[in-house]
Amino acid sequence: CILYNVPSRTGCNLLPKSVAVLAKHPNIVAIKEASGDFSQIAELISLTNGEIDVYSGNDDQIVPLLSLGGKGVISVLSNVLPKKTVEMCDKFFAGDVKGSAEIQLKLIPLINALFCEVNPIPVKAATSALGFGENYLRLPLTSMEKDNEEKLLALMREQGLNVWVI
């Protein structure tokens, strides 16, 4: 099992001491950490001492989390730019921290666009524009606002993606 620490979505923050206890369970192997609190993340990694793998749950914080000992990312961005996301992590683990950080920083505008509205609205629009499925959402979710959609598609094109109008 992978623990899911995304307080903005769950309304609950898994604190490092709690995760350290949970990490001792043989079926718990990792945590998706999206608290955004790097002091908390550092404490978590320190307390668990390798008993649990830590994955970034925030696409705008992949490289910083890896630098604390993270193992990778559970990502929204990777649905749109999987090779670039893998390249960012591969560069980091190969010791090219500067190259990894350059990718991270270059992708910040696209990452922000993927989170400009409630998840999964933007990523559904993005994957649909890439030809993967329909941009269909169930209520209470609605389609992206036109201005946000146009910005998202423009940023995807800047990354060399072939996008269609939704």
- To the query of whether residue 136 is one of the catalytic residues in this protein, the response is no
Q: Which of 4, 83, 146, 151 is catalytic?
A: 4
DSSP 65-84: HHHTT--EE--SGGGT-HHH
Residue 31's nearest CA partner among 39, 122, 15, 125 is 15
Q: Identify whether the C-beta of residue 114 lies closer than 8 Å to the C-beta of residue 126.
A: yes
H or E stretch including 33?
strand 30-33
- To the query of whether residue 32 is one of the catalytic residues in this protein, the response is yes
Termini Cα distance of the chain: 36
Q: Identify whether the C-beta of residue 106 lies closer than 8 Å to the C-beta of residue 80.
A: no
**Catalytic site residues?**
4, 32
